[in-house]
Amino acid sequence: MNKKGSDIQNRTLGGRSMAQPKAAGELNAVQLETDLLKRWTDEKTFQASIDVRRNGAPFIFLEGPPTANGKPGIHHVVARTYKDLVCRWKAMEGFLVERKGGWDTHGLPVEIEVQKRLDLMSNEAIEAFGMAEFNQACRESVWTYEAAWREMTERMAYWVDLDNPYVTLDNDYVESAWWALKQMFDKGLLYRGHKVLPFCPQTGTSYSSHEVALGYKEVEEPSVYVKFKLTDDNASILAWTTTPWTLPGNVGLAVGPEVTYVRCRVKEAAGEHWEGAGGADVGEEVILAKDLMKEVLRHHVDIVDEFPGADLVGRSYEPLFPGAVPKGDSMTAWTVLEADWVTTTDGTGVVHTAVMYGEDDYNLGMEAGLPAHHTVDMDGSFVTGTHPELDGRYVKACDETIISLLSSPGGTNGKGPESGLLYREKAYAHDYPHCWRTDHPLLYYAMDSWFVRMTAVKENLLKFNDQVEWAPDWVGEGRFGEWLRNVKDWAISRERYWGTPLPVWRSESGEMKCVGSIKELQEEVAKAVAAGIANPDCTDDVDLHRPIVDGFTLLSDSGEVMHREPFVMDCWFDSGCASFAQWHHPFENEEVFNASFPVDYICEGVDQTRGWFYTLLAVSTTVFDQPAYKRCLSLGLILDAEGKKMSKSRGNIVDPWDHFNREGADATRWYMVTAGAPWNPMKFDPNGVRETYAKMFLTLWNVYKFHADYAALDAFDPEASSIPVAQRPALDRWVLSRLATVANDYHENFVNWQFHKAGRDLEDFVVNDLSNWYVRRSRRRLWDEADSNDKRSCQHTLHEVLLTVCRLVAPVAPFMVDEIHRNLTGASVHTAPWPAGVPGSLEGATSDAWDEAAAKATASLPPTDPELEATMALVRELAEAGRRIRIDGNRRQRLPCAQGWIVAGPELSEFHDLLAEELNVEAILVENDLDRFQRIELAPNFRALAPKARSSVNEVAQAIRAAEDPEALLQAIRAGGAEVLGVTVEESDVEVKRVERPGFAAQTVDVPGADGASLHVSLVLDMNDSPALLSKGMARDITRRVQAQRKAMDLELEATIDLEVWVVNGPAMEEADEAWVAAETRCAGCVFHPESSTPPEGAETFEVDGTTVHFTVA
């Protein structure tokens, strides 16, 4: 402690080699990070980190493109951290990891945003505004938050090329997407259909199932039981629906042919508990499934008849809303049909069928020849002619009207809605899909649509999915696999404006042409023009968006005029093309594409399972007959500290900048990675970030600072000298061994996607092993001004440990470790090799195969010494045991003990000095007579004992434990087995435990030995006092208080003081101890006053063990 602070500056002024560390300053994490960002930009460090691996095997990462028309949040930081860390890690392993950015720019979210801003909440409004203008507004809106995204991306140090990103609205990208569609078209996988789809009247568009999945909400709605009056019989069939608005469209009733139905007659009026509208008269007859009578009927009835559903088939009934649906030439309208999917789990066992508003309804209607007529318009209102009270009204607003119409008993003969046809209404709670953008309930609606025949490639989807390495595996096997096993044809067309246009032209008679490139479009346009069809120019840079592409009119093979199908693509299709469209395949970059497909690694939130994870695979399977990616990390959702999902509407979004500006991006990233497994939902706790900063980064910084300051002071140059590890002191060999062990585990955990475990272990190493033990125990070694071997050894060791720690941390938290690495070596950590080896740089290596042994040989880790690690663990245990003994014996730490004995255990003489210091004892002795301080205990070994003792194992175990003379029992056992309660106990059935004898100031610690067996080592302290010990202890107490006072007075380290001390009622101070106090506290003058003199007013005072001490510092 005799270094002068100013020396640190003075001595470093001379010529410093690149690798010669300079002193570290105080830590300002945010400043450090922002300074480094500048430096990375100036020095093009990202590019350098790629270039230095130019000859490595490629590892291909594909960025899932975010939409830049929303502000980035903390969940984006999480995803980007995992993307970044894997890329950085693989790069350090010697792989060439290029990272192209990407932006998703099409789709409904963009349109909705613009519609809101321009107040264009319907398709009519958009078209009146002008499609070209609208799309221009969309094109601009896409970049609203690009700057915010860029800032966040850079600040968090997500290394990705944002200057040459792929952008889904670019002509090149769209052209590749067109090409992909044409492949599907040519393979017969793209088809035009008429299908019932979930449809949002507000946005005027239908949704694919993965979009519908985003909007399920539980709602309570009125459901109704309706009486359908048979035309040729005085009875009604009861049917149930949760969507009263589909009733005007009713054209059929479906029954299960095998289901048993009953005809019953109402016996008496309903009781008083009747709720809501509807009812039935006494004597009225209704028909429904027998199983559901109890559930449905609210009257006492007599069963008149019982029959299978087949008996009902073909019978006709009165339309509910006569005239709402024209009968046309249908022979089956308003008759009973059979359908095998009808069950008796809900309703009445009779399914009301409105052809246009349900998938089953539609299929049944087509099969049975029911009239396909819409009673509802695309805007969600009833068409004129449905009923005077309903025409033109939004269907969801008509529930009450329909119920009241059906329950008013005004009509006659059961014809028309006002005929008392409502039997009952019942509130019904269920999950119903809502528009994920506007929150409006979706209507199932039969409409024109284009599909990709995913059902035709299901086997391949499953096969390719099996080839993907999923993390966690259950997402691939379970959730994603299940989705694929139930795959449906992909409805990819949207009746929208802003998106990749569907490149299909179609004639009135149904001839079709799918255009796969700009060149092809030009050729087709030329053909049409040659045939006399007027067309605008189709230049090489024609904008491939609406309304431009709508302006082209083509010619069919038979000479008919063809117009473009007025759809754009599902924007998920766009991003699903990313693996090849980012390279404008197949029009350009053939080599790049060939070398990078399929990609090695993608990573997104688990919510992309049905989104991007699926569409990437769907497109690659249909177009290339290959999987698109080899590894997929599926991240858990991010929740707030209460475990609630973060959402704008809840207002519990965490702003990443709060942490970037407080604890820094390092701490934020490290926290997110160590908080839990990547696939588990993460509760984001702002306090956790702070804790990470305080523990991990502050500690690391201080270790570094300790090393750097003395390295600078001593002009330490790691390259100027070297000391083989084997020749270094045990403490050094120990920390290096620990380092290697931790690094190997760290790497193993990375390989298994267990980044959280890796990080936790490394943090534990830095805080406990490195800072709290190695540095603490080594401090005095560096205080030595002489150029000793021991000091150099410590410096080399610290240097090496820090470098390896930096390299391990770098992928996760890239800032501070770069600062440290740069100062220690002159080079960025991001161009450094991965400590566990650099397989990517090996000749012939690929992203997933390399010579394991050759890779190991490239590792840069010190040797491990498990025995030494175990020994040191014991030493640390003993040091802690010493403190426990002192607590138990009420003896303060600063009061030395004359001696301490170590009983049993391995040879520790190498660490006796260290232990003496830690324990504050004058001498460490080894006690060879174990029985002097220890006795034995026997513990049963259940694994061995259980098979022999069976059900009496507990009694036997208890007997062994409670043996009055365990020593004798053990001897008997060793002599060939002892009978305990009829069981022969052998040596392998018991564990011998040595513990301290009662009555001594002792503790026994239990540590695993090198050979796996348990070691029982005791520490005994001599608790007797002597005048010399008391004097020494007092000297230490005084020193400690004076040092505290120096600190409180804010004195320079090298400042000298004048000290005066008055000890009242204390031990006689020995001269040597007084001198020691003076030296430790840097006294110019030091006076110990006799007890008779009186201390001045204002002297510092403290009390210890009944002694009062006063002192003054000047």
Partner RNA sequence: GCGCGGGUGGCUUAGUCGGUUAGAGCACCCGGCUGAUAACCGGGAGGUCGCAGGUUCAAGUCCUGCCUCGCGCACCA
* Residue 538 vs 801, nearer CB to RNA: 801
**Nearest C-alpha neighbor of 764 from the set 744, 791, 738, 787:** 738
Instruction: Output 73 or 411, the one with its CB closest to RNA.
Output: 73
Nearer to RNA, 663 or 865 (CB): 663
34 CB contacts (<8 Å, ≥6 apart)?
none
Residue with tokens 């450090």: 32
What one-letter code names the amino acid at 223?
S
Number of residues in contact with RNA under rule CB under 7 A: 99
Contacting residue, 39, 192, 440, 883, with RNA by CB under 7 A: 883
- CB–CB of 727/788 below 8 Å? no
- Contact between 90 and RNA by CB under 7 A: the answer reads no
Taking the C-alpha atoms of residue 1065 and residue 1051, their distance in angstroms, rounded to an integer, is 30
| Distance (Å, whole) CA 661 – CA 656 | 9
Residue 1085 binds RNA (CB under 7 A): no
- Using the minimum distance from each CB to RNA, give the nearer residue, 121 or 959: 959
Residue 558 binds RNA (CB under 7 A):
no
Instruction: Work out how close the CB of 82 gets to RNA at its nearest, in angstroms, rounded to a whole number.
Output: 16
Residue 455 makes contact with RNA by CB under 7 A? no
Is 900 an interacting residue with respect to RNA (CB under 7 A)?
Answer: no
Q: What are phi and psi of 1014, to 5 degrees?
A: -85, 135
| Binding of residue 579 to RNA (CB under 7 A) | no
529 close to 535: Cβ distance less than 8 angstroms = yes
One residue of 427, 474, 889, 931 binding RNA per CB under 7 A: 474
Q: Is 1102 in the site for RNA (CB under 7 A)?
A: no
Q: How far apart are CA 88 and CA 953, in angstroms?
A: 55
Angle CA 738–741–746, to nearest 5? 120
Give residues with Cβ within 8 angstroms of 836, minimum separation 6. Answer: 743, 744, 746, 747, 859, 861
Q: Does 37 bind RNA (CB under 7 A)?
A: no
* Distance spanning both ends of the chain, measured CA to CA: 20
In the bound state with RNA, the residue whose beta carbon lies nearer, of 52 and 696, is: 696
Interface segment toward RNA; rule CB under 7 A; list 375-383, 408-416, 940-948, 973-981: 940-948
Closest distance to RNA from the beta carbon of 288 (Å): 11
Evaluated on CA atoms 639, 642, 644, 646, the torsion sign reads negative
Alpha-carbon distance 652 to 682, whole Å?
14
892 scored as a contact of RNA (CB under 7 A): yes
345: contact with RNA by CB under 7 A? yes
| 290 forms part of the interface with RNA (CB under 7 A) | no
Q: Which is nearer to RNA, 32 or 599 (CB)?
A: 32
Applying CB under 7 A, does 948 fall inside the site for RNA? no
Q: Is 860 an interacting residue with respect to RNA (CB under 7 A)?
A: no
Nearer to RNA, 858 or 1112 (CB): 1112
Which window, 164-172, 366-374, 1019-1027, 1038-1046, contacts RNA (CB under 7 A)? 1038-1046
List binders of RNA among 622-651 (CB under 7 A): 637, 643, 645
Task: Give residue for tokens 């490639």.
Answer: 457
Using the rule CB under 7 A, is 768 a contact of RNA?
A: yes
In 419-560, DSSP assigns E strands to 422-433, 443-452, 469-471, 490-491, 493-494, 504-507, 512-514, 554-555
- Can you tell me the distance from the alpha carbon of 632 to that of 397, in angstroms, rounded to the nearest whole number? 45
The CA-based diameter of the chain, rounded to the nearest angstrom, is: 127
Q: Which of 523, 607, 991, 1070 binds RNA (CB under 7 A)?
A: 607
Residue 342 contacts RNA per CB under 7 A: yes
Contact positions with RNA (CB under 7 A) in 358-387: 358-360
- Told to check if 428 binds RNA by CB under 7 A, we report yes
Return the range that interacts with RNA (CB under 7 A); candidates 340-348, 791-799, 928-936, 975-983: 340-348
Task: Give the position of tokens 């009662």.
Answer: 998
Residue whose C-alpha is closest to residue 791's, from 802, 804, 778, 772: 778
Task: Name the amino acid, one letter, at 68.
Answer: A
Burial 286-325 (b: 16+ CB within 10 A, else e): bbbbbbbbeebbbbebeeeeeeebeebbebbbbbbbeebb
Kindly give the pairing relationship between strand 638-639 and strand 682-683: parallel
Determine if 592 is a binding residue for RNA (CB under 7 A): no
Kindly tell me which residue out of 10, 467, 954, 1024 binds RNA, with binding defined by CB under 7 A.
Answer: 954
Please tell me whether the peptide bond between 598 and the residue prior to it is cis, using omega within 30 degrees of 0. Answer: yes
Joined tokens for residue 419: 């005929």
Single out the residue of 988, 105, 932 nearest to residue 574, CA to CA: 105
**Is 152 a binder of RNA (CB under 7 A)?**
no
What number of helices (H) and strands (E) belong to the chain?
Answer: 39, 38
Among 80, 106, 155, 352, binds RNA (CB under 7 A): 352
In angstroms, give the least distance from the CB of 358 to RNA. 6
Nearer to RNA, 307 or 474 (CB): 474
**CB neighbourhood size of 166 (10 A):** 22
Work out which of 170, 1040, 1070, 1087 binds RNA, going by CB under 7 A. 1040
343 near RNA (CB under 7 A): yes
Structure tokens at 638: 């991010």
**Is 210 one of the binding residues for RNA (CB under 7 A)?**
yes
Contact by Cβ (8 Å): 685, 638 = no
Angle at 765 between CA 761 and CA 768, to 5 degrees: 125
479 makes contact with RNA (CB under 7 A): yes
Give the residue, chosen from 531, 1044, 1068, 1084, that forms a contact with RNA under the rule CB under 7 A.
1044
Catalytic residues: 65, 104, 572, 608, 612, 645, 648
**Which residue, 131 or 995, is less far from RNA as judged by CB?**
995
Part of the chain binding RNA (CB under 7 A), chosen from 171-179, 207-215, 579-587, 730-738: 207-215
Q: Contact between 187 and RNA (CB under 7 A)?
A: no
CA pair distance 387, 415, nearest whole angstrom: 14
The answer to whether the beta carbons of residues 571 and 106 sit under 8 Å apart is: yes
Minimum distance, C-beta of residue 883 to RNA, in the bound complex (Å): 4
Task: Between 592 and 1051, name the residue whose CB sits nearer to RNA.
Answer: 1051
Q: Is 767 in the site for RNA (CB under 7 A)?
A: yes
CB of residue 342 vs RNA: minimum separation in angstroms? 5
Told to check if 482 binds RNA by CB under 7 A, we report yes
Q: Which is nearer to RNA, 1 or 282 (CB)?
A: 1
981 is an interface residue for RNA by CB under 7 A = no
Segment 233-252, which members bind RNA (CB under 7 A)? 240-243, 246
User: Other CB atoms closer than 10 Å to residue 608's CB: what's the count?
Assistant: 22
Cross-strand pairs, 605 = 635
Interface with RNA includes 878 (CB under 7 A)? no
CB atoms within 10 A of CB 723: 16
Q: According to CB under 7 A, which one of 20, 21, 24, 27 is a site residue for RNA?
A: 27
Task: State which residue, 606 or 618, has the beta carbon closest to RNA.
Answer: 606
Of 622, 723, 637, 640, whose CA–CA distance to 680 is shortest? 637
- How many Cα atoms are found within 13 Å in the side-chain-facing hemisphere of 110? 29
Binding mask 679-718 for RNA (x = CB under 7 A): -xxxx-x-xx--x--xx--xx--xx-xx------------
Least distance between RNA and beta carbon 1098 (Å): 19
Does the footprint of RNA cover residue 928 (CB under 7 A)? no
Closer residue to RNA (CB): 871 or 1004: 1004
* φ/ψ bin of 4: left (φ > 0), alpha (ψ from -120 to 50), beta (otherwise): beta
Among 564, 610, 669, 747, which residue sits at the site for RNA (rule: CB under 7 A)? 610
Least separation in angstroms between CB 615 and RNA: 13
In the list 116, 519, 950, 974, the residue contacting RNA (rule: CB under 7 A) is 950
